[in-house]
Structure 1
Amino acid sequence: MEQGVGANLLLLWAMCLGHAQADGSSGYASVIEVTNGGPWGGWARPEMCPDGFFASGFSLKVEPPQGIPGDDTAMNGVRLHCTRGNAEHVVESQSGRWGAWSEPLWCPFGSFLVAFSLRVEAPVIPGDNTAANNVRFRCSDSTELEGPGLAWGDFGNWSEPCPKGICGLQIKIEQPRGLRDDTAVNDLRFFCCRS
């Protein structure tokens, strides 16, 4: 799907979910994506920072390596830590069942998240697939923050930047598959703040 078409569909979905403002405009300006996301799972419901809050930190839910013959899933969730002054609000899209949440990583005081890059393991057939393993964010002051995810796969290109910062997220996640291979998080997209 072309990025413009995907962004328009997300805008329509967000409006239907009540994320639209009273004047009919969306609560975000655009959507940023990367091209190397994993192929499995579906998109969960978008989650947005409250009005006037900007994402200035993040944390990850990560399952450590399971060894042989375990089933590795690596990254199982992402939380945005949205701030306004001294107030903080945490948002997360759906997350997988495995692993534990990390401590938040923060942009330097006064800056906020603006772009991201995703570390993804290419499909291995047959094999133990993990899909998304880690994420990096760039802050508005150019600081780069790398999450505490796992090292399988490669980081892809950086997304386009959000001029006024990130204020929401949506996660592509594969649901548990029983005795079959699980991957959990496959892809991410983020919403750019309107103001």
Structure 2
Amino acid sequence: KRHDVVQTIEPKSGPWGEFTNTVYCETNTWAIGFRQRVEKPCDKCDDTALNALELLCGKKDGTSVKSIKAHDGFWGDWSEVVRCPGDKNFLKGVSFKIEPPQELGDDTAANDCRFACSRSSNIFASNGDPWGDWQEMKYCPPSTAICGFSLKLENMQDKEDDTAANGAKFECCSL
């Protein structure tokens, strides 16, 4: 745990799953990029869409230090790492693309994730799934940036409908 956490932000998520343990960037590093694990649309099978997130942590000079992930997820492929360009450019806001419950259909919940950078425009991965709508961006307070997160994950449902990752909550630490 870090002692410089100022606030937890929780963008709108899907209704299923439990939060994993929170993982943090090392002291004096903050999130500067991310990648996501997404299962591609699979026609007549059980779609899950977003399965996991990994944040790339970096120093103020823009040097990346290491990555953190709260869970590996179960299905799909990891995207490329997408990062906020330059130095002193951290992840400060986050939004998920959420599909509402499908009643008798195949639920996926979270399909894609995007982040706001503190000194440039939003960043996206290239492997998001098509279902649902982008939710409101939630931001860290001024002079803070994302420094940790906990994934909202539905465990495997055996023969029931799987959704995997439904969202996440993020820790904002002082810069």
The TM tier, using the shorter chain, reads over 0.9
Distance 1:108 1:62 in 2: 23
Correspondence for 2:136 among 128, 152, 157: 157
Q: Aligned to 1:165, what secondary structure does the other structure show?
A: strand
Unmatched tracts of structure 1, length 5 or more: 1-18, 21-25
CA-to-aligned-CA distance 1:148-179 (integer Å, 9 cap, x gap)? 31110000111033432111011100000111
Q: Please tell me whether residue 49 in structure 1 is matched to residue 35 in structure 2.
A: no
Larger radius of gyration: 1
Equivalence for 1:94: 71
Equivalence for 2:49: 74
Equivalence for 1:141: 119
Q: How many residues align?
A: 170
**Residues 162 and 193, structure 1, Cα contact 8 Å, conserved in 2:** no
Structure holding more helix per residue: 1
Distance 1:162 1:53 in 2: 17
Amino acid across the alignment from 2:39 = E
Distance 2:121 2:174 in 1: 22
Structure holding more strand per residue: 2
Distance 1:180 1:150 in 2: 21
- The within-5 A match list for 1:25-36 is 26-34=3-11, 36=12
CA-to-aligned-CA distance 1:76-100 (integer Å, 9 cap, x gap)? 0000000124342100112321011
Distance 2:160 2:99 in 1: 18
Question: What CA RMSD, in Å, does the superposition of the two structures yield over aligned residues?
Answer: 1.3
Q: What is the CA distance between 1:143 and its match in structure 2?
A: 1.0
What percentage of aligned pairs have identical amino acids?
Answer: 36
**Residues 44 and 171, structure 1, Cα contact 8 Å, conserved in 2:** yes
Amino acid across the alignment from 2:32 = S
Q: TM-score, with normalisation over the residues of structure 2?
A: 0.92
Higher relative contact order (CA 8 A, sep 6+): 2
Unmatched tracts of structure 2, length 5 or more: none
